Homo-oligomer: A and B are copies of this chain.
Amino acid sequence: MKNFISVHDVNNIDALVQQALAYKANPFIDKALGQGKRIGCLFLNPSMRTRLSTQIAAQNLGMEAIVFNVGSEGWALEFEEEAIMSGNTVEHVKDAAPIFGKYFDILAIRTFPSLKNREDDYSELYIKQFIKYAGIPVVSLESATLHPLQSLTDIITIQEQLKQTPITGRKPKIVLSWAPHVKPLPQCVANSFAQWVNAWGQADFVITHPEDYELSEEFTKGATITTNQDEALAGADFVYVKNWSTFKDYGKIYESDPKWMLVNDKLKHTNNAKVMHCLPVRRNVELSDEILDGPNSLVTQEASNRVWAAQAVLNELLRANTK
């Protein structure tokens, strides 16, 4: 593994999941691996679980983690090549990234999309520029279009659940279900979940959303897509709930019909489905209290697995890359 930006950086998803579960059982087993190594965690946008779990994962491996909030503790970076920097950006990624590459052994970055220009966001300019110029492994802490640490966590959590309650004779049915929200959100988590479940290939995968909320085929190809939520939920073993804004007419909210919120009544048509969400979740907008507080919710387990996902990824990067 050279970087960890999408599922394409992973050779063997199942092996990565097993490594994560090994760390969950024994967090400090590789405490010596990261001695004298340092990870820089750069936040161009806010973060809670990702921030904390990455720091903890690094510490579990004996690494030193240094967090830097680029905007508030530093200054605005420029990403465009050949920019004449007479505006608001203070430093070019071409100058900053190589220095991070000297200071750190691994660089982890969170950078959100603008949701204003689809082509720009989907070019993943920001994280690609960091990769181009840092000269060290780069880990996405969520980028403009994907959130791979979240998706790895999701696969880990699904596998844990399947180990506990095995499904035999058929693939588990996993449904990604759009949920209402009050603000236009990135497509990252949904894109990434679709990309990973498709790459994993061990599920009957259905995506359901209102009309006009189609995601990019780049990520969804292989899934069954329907605008009929009831139909999608029928017989589901896992329901992954998430809002996203429109992809085609980019970054908009077309409808936010509350009927798309998952409630207990809708679980009746499922196979007693476990409910997942990446958090943060708007309670009683995206998901009802009754679901989040009920026995079908996996959200806390899912979020706690973030540590082991990050630790498994850092482990691979440490082993594969030496300065």
Contact = CB atoms under 8 A, between A and B. Distances in A.
A48 interface: yes
Nearest to A48: B74
Interface stretch (A52-60, A156-164, A199-207, A222-230): A52-60
Identify whether the interface residues of A are mostly helix, strand, loop, or mixed.
mixed
Nearest to A302: B99
Contacts of A84: 283-285
B285 A103 contact: no
Contacts of A40: 52
B73 A304 contact: no
Interface stretch (A75-83, A116-124, A136-144, A238-246): A75-83
A66 B83 CA distance: 36
Contact of A102 (B85, B95, B285, B300): B300
A103 to B, nearest CB: 5
Nearest to A282: B85
A214 interface: no
A106 to B, nearest CB: 14
Contact of A55 (B43, B66, B99, B182): B66
A86 B285 contact: yes
A68 interface: yes
Contacts of A249: none
A91 B283 CA distance: 8
Contacts of A90: 280, 282
A271 interface: no
A21 to B, nearest CB: 15
**5 A-B pairs with the lowest CB-CB distances in the bound complex, closest first:** A91-B280, A102-B304, A85-B282, A48-B74, A84-B284
